[in-house]
Amino acid sequence: MNGRVQRILMGPAVYLVALLLAGVLPIASLILCGVAPVLYLRPGRVDHYWKNGHRQPGPHDNLAK
């Protein structure tokens, strides 16, 4: 499994574990539901393109400047 797919499936996996824990340990389930969005706050591999401002010209960009 590559890094992108792993990063995408990380959230649903955490929520699935939280769902399974809800009947046994409701507090742990709530903590996992609170932690899941924090996992996506870390920068991913493609985020450095946005940070550095690198962008390919699109079809609607005015290149005759």
**Residues in contact with 64: Cβ distance below 8 Å, sequence separation at least 6, in sequence order:** none
User: How does pLDDT run across 7-37, given as a tens digit for each residue?
Assistant: 788 889 999 999 999 999 999 999 999 999 9
Model confidence at 2, pLDDT cuts 50, 70, 90, reads confident
* The pLDDT value given to residue 41: 83
Give the residue among 36, 1, 2 at the shortest CA–CA distance from 16.
36
Q: What does the domain layout of the chain look like in residue ranges?
A: 3-44
Does residue 65 surpass a pLDDT of 60? no
